[in-house]
Amino acid sequence: MSSSRNHIDYWIACSGGADSVVLVRLFKELGKSFGILHCNFKLRGNDSDEDENFVRNLAAEIKVPLKVKNFDVQKYIKMNGGNTQLAARNLRYEWFDEIKSKLEANIVLGHHKDDQIETFFLQLRRGGKLKGLSGMPKNRANYLRPLLDYTKGEIYNLAKINSWFWREDVSNKKSDYLRNLYRNELIPAFEDVESIKNQAIDLIEGFQSLLLLTEQYLTDQYDFSKELKVSFAKWDLMPYWMKHILLSKSELFPISVKEVERLRTSEKGKSLKTQSKAIWNEGDGFLIVNSSDKTLDFNCEIDLIRVEEVIFEEGIVFIDKDKVKGALSIRKWEKGESFYPLGMLEQKKVSKFLRDRKVDSSKKRSHFVIVDDSNQIVGVLKMCPDNRFKIDEDSSWAYRVKYLS
């Protein structure tokens, strides 16, 4: 992240609770350049507004910038589904991502060791994989959690010693939400609870190390910034959790490993798509590409020349002018369309022709056909003319169709 005299390096998410207030106070003590972010979800009536007022007063007292955003959680749920906690989390992080990107800053969160332990047990209950059981990282994608090594008790004690006041969220005392149930009832019910917590932290740290090693291994094996090919032989040898991380690093979420396993046993040419990515079954492996790669921009040059000027070169298609109706143009081919490939007396579907030419399934739709004014296919761009429209010994004039880029 860039840093200058007036640039704010850190934005601290502050609810008004003890953990985030301590974080704000510590950053002030350390002389850091920071601002405060506050989310008002309007879920607790007057208490929500009092939390906002508290944070506003805190920012004014220590003279740091403040950004406050109000959210309509119920509207979000109606539009996107989910529950209150999930909706609030998504709204919060969408805003944080926007701040992080626009202001080129780090987002600092007040999660502590007890939050980490609760997250671990929640993930365990949900059948979480390696990434979930690794918990929250201290530093990832410019999200910082500097309090993860400290317990809630240690943070409260620090606040009390320094007379740092905070707001208490009384809803945290209720076990209505699953996290609160674990926090208030289930985890405290363990015999020798401190020993259980320490074991959980040891497991989390072990999973984090394994996650880092796995991500490094996959980064060494594959270039995720480019088109990605994964052979079935390699895929079949990967443990489930490694497949999950591969899909995550390939930006294929929310496609699951189970869905890709089904794709693995489907016929060649089948695919799964997200808004930005697609994964294709290529017969001997998977091909992962940008969804946008399937609609390529192109630049094409169509000239009318005498047949005597024809010089056959790879990628240039020649069409007899007198055999076509009107001018030529280029368009994407449609499913089910056929033509007569050069040298053939029988029709072949464009899709079958491209497959016979060993064109990857993911790239078929990025090929274009040449058509005349009647929309008749007279050739396939970069490949060949339709046999009925080729130049021959009786031809006088030809269209030269050259793909430029």
What Å distances lie between residue 111 and 38, 116, 137, 145, CA to CA? 15, 7, 10, 6
Helix/strand/coil for 332: strand
Pick the closest to residue 130 from 216, 197, 214 (CA basis). 214
Query: Quick one: pLDDT at residue 194?
Result: 93
What does 351-373 look like in DSSP terms, one character per residue?
HHHHHHTT--GGGGGG-EEEE-T
Query: Quick one: pLDDT at residue 290?
Result: 75
Q: Which sequence spans correspond to the domains of the chain?
A: 10-206, 223-292, 300-403
Residue pair 197/121 in contact (Cβ under 8 Å)? The answer is no
Helix/strand/coil for 330: strand
Same fold: 10-206 with 300-403: no
Q: What's the token pair of residue 146?
A: 């500097």
Residue 14 identity (one-letter amino acid): C
Helix/strand/coil for 375: coil
Query: Quick one: pLDDT at residue 294?
Result: 39
**3.50.40.10, 3.60.15.10, 3.10.690.10, 3.30.230.10: which CATH number matches 300-403?**
3.50.40.10
Report the distance separating Cα 130 and Cα 128, nearest Å: 7
Pick the closest to residue 14 from 30, 38, 40, 33 (CA basis). 38
Report the distance separating Cα 256 and Cα 262, nearest Å: 10
Sheet arrangement for strand 139-140 = 66-70, 34-40, 10-13, 106-108, 143-144, 139-140
Query: Quick one: pLDDT at residue 291?
Result: 64
Name the superfamily (CATH) of residues 10-206. HUPs (3.40.50.620)
Report the distance separating Cα 370 and Cα 399, nearest Å: 11
Phi-psi region of 112 (alpha: psi -120 to 50; beta: other; left: phi over 0): beta
Task: Report how far Cα 186 is from the mean position of its chain's Cα atoms.
Answer: 34
Query: Quick one: pLDDT at residue 298?
Result: 55
Number of helices and strands in the chain (H, E):
13, 19
Residue 10 identity (one-letter amino acid): Y
Report the distance separating Cα 284 and Cα 288, nearest Å: 13
Query: Quick one: pLDDT at residue 58?
Result: 98
Residue 39 identity (one-letter amino acid): C
Query: Quick one: pLDDT at residue 314?
Result: 85
Query: Quick one: pLDDT at residue 173?
Result: 81
Burial class of residue 158 in the structure, from the number of CB atoms within 10 Å of its CB (0-12 exposed, 13-18 middle, 19+ buried) = middle
Outline where 306-401 has alpha helix (H): 350-356
Burial class of residue 385 in the structure, from the number of CB atoms within 10 Å of its CB (0-12 exposed, 13-18 middle, 19+ buried) = buried
Start-to-end CA span in the chain (Å): 36
Report the distance separating Cα 251 and Cα 292, nearest Å: 14
Query: Quick one: pLDDT at residue 5?
Result: 54
- Phi, psi angles (nearest 5°) of residue 256: -95, 165
Stretches in the chain below the pLDDT threshold 70: 1-5, 291-299, 405
Phi-psi region of 347 (alpha: psi -120 to 50; beta: other; left: phi over 0): beta
> How wide is the angle at C-alpha 379 spanned by C-alphas 376 and 382, nearest 5°?
145
What Å distances lie between residue 125 and 58, 83, 86, 120, 231, CA to CA? 38, 18, 17, 9, 33
Q: What's the token pair of residue 262?
A: 């089904």
